């Protein structure tokens, strides 16, 4: 089937290229506006009470409160002088650095005073930005998007040189770039269409971009290397294309499906965030497969021997013949070297700890002014002040009944008595009797202005059964104790309320705690799904259950070593990393991509080993042939992926740096140790059994 399709693409090469151009031009508007229907969050567990509570809280339309501001562009003395003119007390100003000042409103500060200060600040050349978790989320989203753009620009020069070395000619370098651009653009357009019908997270755009780039280049390398090798053997252009697509193209198809399905396992995360990464990543892979199996053969047919233009010979790839001979003649030594390098790191894996921070400021560098502003705010108002826990209660009676306020008062007293509670903000603490609260809720015009404004913080006219109170913890949002407090409220609150009530803690801390718990629960299922995909696809691709099993075992070893490496780097703060837990939002992605991408190299290597075995070569000679002919290609492809991933280190966000170093280590360990040492040596040691139940077409002469 692949050969028939390839023959059509070669025969109608110009038609294929024109069709791709039309497709890309037609879908550019969709790709450009891909984020239009994507959600900026998506971390909530849609089936949890926490999500219900958070949705209820969003119904509250509280009166605007004076914002906390980060002031820059003027000194603290200038800011205080402008504050006096705006009738702001001097105690609201706090020095952050020589260039930055925090304006932290007090209970007597009004919105009018702060807005007047902002106007005067702009007139004197200063500027102010909000200090809030929403502002932090916007900054992190912006930095994440900028990382993809800047990392791509930073990686391009290095990538161009590496591509030139690996592909061996200037003309051949154009192939992977063509495939990567076409694949990523088509993938983003497809996501734009899907997002109109399914809620997806905006963070998928980053995965689509760098995954399509790296995988598109890899697949082009595998196929075009075989094509140029065939040309070197004197084959005609069309025959060389047919052979390269029939062998390398077949391997790429299997490995691409494996990667797409492995990434698709993230659907088991069961929320919009993981759904976005799963669909975005899978669509990116399938778009690359479509490009490599239609556009690539057509372009190779057009270029023909023109791919040799600008050809260079810098590396002596005979080193892989030496490595191949050593691995096949001393398989026990090769196996020992690989295990000695991976097993010590794997012992650190059990120490891994994952948690997405509820205090988003801790995702920024310690030198970031906005993070310093949040830390100053916590030091002044208390660690838990930046993200109170909101408790939503939907009662059987309405706020127009004094019974409702008696029940709210009872809950308030219970919450105040809990350990680790700093304060509770509740309407029943306004020193107003329940009967009078019910009267004010019935007719707000009867309430004093201050009381009416305060009540809008707790109730809403659109749902008279809903009341919300706010709990400030003694500890910060990232603290385990704060999470335990939210859990305690969720466990006990219904015992404090009459039957037929519904109540739960919501807001940022419970939402991200729920996300962390859901991810921890689903991670084993996600990894199991990726393992099953790997076993099934490797068995189908090679016909060998033994190789499929070995592939999963070695991938598991690399995963454990990668986990151990991340424990040392992130948990222990090596290489300039902050000492903190691994982020739950990226760690499963690293392991799933590891299982998926490793299938690329595994299938390519095993197919190349099986080819000489089909022609009567012994297992030892077949392994030597596989290592010596694919070693430079597999390690070169791995280095390309590493360059793409390491470019993420330019990000100011540690979460992006973690993806970069984690995937880089995983790819290096997989290509240089597993595919170069462990798989070949094990295959030689197991001999005929290594490919059971697959049998070569011809009888194999055993050593």
If you average pLDDT over residues 511-534, what whole number do you get?
89
Would you state the pLDDT for residue 702?
Answer: 44
CA dihedral (601, 607, 611, 617) positive or negative = positive
**CA–CA separation, 426 and 399 (whole Å):** 13
Contact (CB, 8 A) for 562 and 591? yes
Whether 654 shows a pLDDT value over 80: the answer reads yes
Whether 449 shows a pLDDT value over 90: the answer reads no
Helix 679-686 to helix 545-566 angle (10° resolution) is 150
Least confident of 21-25, 27-31, 157-161, 451-455: 157-161
Q: Where are the alpha helices (DSSP H) in 195-203?
A: none
Closest Cα partner for 537 from 193, 320, 236, 261? 261
Cα angle: 587, vertex 588, 591; to 5 degrees: 95
Q: How confident is the model at residue 698 (pLDDT cuts 50, 70, 90)?
A: low
Would you state the pLDDT for residue 44?
Answer: 77
**CA–CA separation, 359 and 512 (whole Å):** 10
If you average pLDDT over residues 651-663, what whole number do you get?
88
Q: Look at 601 and 142; give whichever has higher pLDDT.
A: 601
In terms of phi and psi (left: phi > 0; alpha: psi -120 to 50; beta: otherwise), the region of 60 is: beta
Contact (CB, 8 A) for 95 and 490? no
Residue with tokens 């900054």: 139
Whether 638 shows a pLDDT value over 60: the answer reads yes
Least confident of 207-211, 411-415, 626-630: 207-211
Q: How confident is the model at residue 685 (pLDDT cuts 50, 70, 90)?
A: very high
Contact (CB, 8 A) for 681 and 334? yes
In percent, the amount of the chain with pLDDT more than 90 equals 53
Would you state the pLDDT for residue 633?
Answer: 84
CA dihedral (545, 549, 552, 554) positive or negative = negative
- Please, which residues have CB within 8 angstroms of residue 273's CB and are 6 or more apart in sequence? 41, 42, 43, 201, 203, 515, 585
3-state SS, residue 140: helix
Would you state the pLDDT for residue 701?
Answer: 44
Contact (CB, 8 A) for 59 and 462? yes
Would you state the pLDDT for residue 188?
Answer: 87
Closest Cα partner for 131 from 364, 356, 459, 357? 364
Closest Cα partner for 127 from 163, 95, 101, 164? 101
**CA–CA separation, 654 and 645 (whole Å):** 14
Closest Cα partner for 140 from 654, 660, 661? 654
pTM: 0.86
Would you state the pLDDT for residue 306?
Answer: 81
Q: What average pLDDT is seen over the chain?
A: 88
Query: Can you say how many angstroms the Cα of residue 664 is from the centroid of all Cα atoms in its chain?
Result: 15
E strand or H helix that includes residue 10: helix 2-11
Contact (CB, 8 A) for 396 and 498? yes
3-state SS, residue 74: coil
Whether 649 shows a pLDDT value over 90: the answer reads no
Q: Look at 92 and 150; give whichever has higher pLDDT.
A: 92
Would you state the pLDDT for residue 40?
Answer: 62
């Amino acid at each position: 089937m692949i050969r028939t399709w390839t023959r059509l693409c070669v025969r109608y090469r110009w038609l294929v290229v024109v069709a791709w151009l039309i497709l890309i031009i037609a879908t550019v508007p969709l790709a450009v506006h891909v984020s239009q229907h994507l959600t900026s969050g998506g971390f909530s567990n849609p089936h949890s009470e926490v999500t219900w509570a958070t949705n209820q809280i969003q119904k509250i339309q509280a009166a605007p409160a004076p914002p906390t501001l980060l002031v820059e562009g003027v000194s603290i003395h200038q800011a205080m002088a402008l504050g006096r003119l705006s009738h702001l007390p001097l105690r609201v100003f706090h020095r952050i650095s020589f260039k930055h000042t925090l304006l932290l409103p007090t209970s007597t500060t009004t919105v009018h005073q702060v807005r007047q200060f902002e106007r005067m600040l702009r007139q004197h050349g200063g500027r102010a930005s909000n200090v809030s978790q929403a502002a932090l989320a916007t900054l992190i989203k912006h930095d994440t998007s900028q990382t993809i753009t800047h990392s791509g620009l930073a990686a391009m020069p290095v990538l161009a040189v590496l591509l030139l070395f690996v592909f061996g000619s200037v003309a051949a370098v154009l192939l992977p770039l063509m495939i990567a651009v076409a694949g990523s653009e088509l993938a983003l357009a497809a996501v734009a269409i899907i997002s109109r019908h399914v809620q997806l997270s905006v963070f998928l755009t980053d995965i689509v971009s760098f995954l399509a780039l790296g995988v598109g280049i890899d697949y082009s390398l595998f196929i075009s290397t075989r094509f140029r090798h065939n040309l070197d053997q004197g084959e005609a252009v069309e025959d060389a294309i047919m052979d390269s697509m029939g062998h390398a193209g077949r391997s790429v198809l299997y490995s691409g499906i494996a990667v797409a399905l492995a990434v698709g396992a993230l659907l088991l995360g069961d929320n919009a965030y993981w759904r976005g990464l799963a669909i975005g990543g899978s669509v990116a892979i399938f778009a690359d497969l479509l490009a490599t199996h239609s556009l690539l053969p057509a372009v190779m047919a057009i270029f023909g021997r023109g791919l040799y233009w600008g050809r260079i010979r810098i590396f002596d790839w005979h080193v892989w013949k030496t490595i191949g001979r050593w691995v096949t003649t001393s398989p026990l030594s090769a196996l020992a070297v690989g295990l000695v390098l991976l097993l010590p790191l794997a012992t650190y894996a059990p120490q891994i700890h994952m948690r997405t921070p509820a205090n988003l400021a801790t995702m920024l560098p310690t030198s970031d002014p906005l993070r310093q502003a949040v830390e100053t705010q916590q030091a002044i108002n208390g660690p838990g002040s930046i993200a109170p826990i909101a408790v939503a209660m939907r009662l059987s009676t309405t706020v127009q009944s004094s019974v409702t306020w008696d029940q709210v008062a009872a809950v308030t007293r219970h919450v105040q008595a809990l350990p680790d509670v700093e304060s509770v903000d509740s309407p029943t603490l306004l020193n107003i009797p329940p009967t009078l609260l019910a009267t004010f809720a019935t007719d707000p015009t009867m309430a004093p202005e201050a009381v009416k404004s305060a009540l809008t913080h707790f109730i809403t006219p659109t749902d008279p059964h809903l009341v919300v109170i706010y709990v400030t913890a003694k500890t910060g949002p990232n603290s385990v104790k704060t999470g335990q407090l939210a859990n305690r409220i969720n466990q006990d609150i219904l015992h404090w309320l009459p039957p037929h009530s519904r109540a739960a803690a919501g807001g940022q801390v419970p939402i991200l705690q729920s996300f962390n718990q859901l991810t921890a629960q689903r991670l084993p299922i996600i990894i199991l799904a990726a393992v099953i995909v790997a076993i099934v696809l490797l068995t189908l691709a090679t016909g060998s259950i033994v190789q499929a099993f070995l592939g999963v075992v070695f991938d598991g070893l690399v995963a454990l070593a990668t986990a151990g490496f991340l424990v040392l780097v992130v948990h222990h703060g090596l290489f300039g990393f902050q000492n903190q837990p691994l982020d739950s939002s990226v760690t499963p992605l690293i392991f799933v991509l590891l299982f998926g991408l490793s299938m690329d190299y595994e299938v390519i290597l095993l197919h190349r080993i099986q080819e000489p075995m089909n022609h009567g070569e012994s297992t030892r000679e077949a392994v030597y042939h596989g290592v010596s002919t694919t070693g430079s290609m597999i390690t070169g492809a791995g280095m390309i992926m590493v360059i793409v991933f390491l470019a993420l280190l330019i990000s100011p966000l540690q979460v992006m740096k973690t993806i970069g170093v984690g995937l880089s280590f995983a790819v290096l360990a997989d290509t240089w140790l597993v595919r170069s040492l462990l798989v070949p040596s094990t295959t030689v040691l197991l001999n005929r059994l290594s490919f059971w139940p697959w049998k070569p077409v011809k009888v194999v002469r055993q050593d």
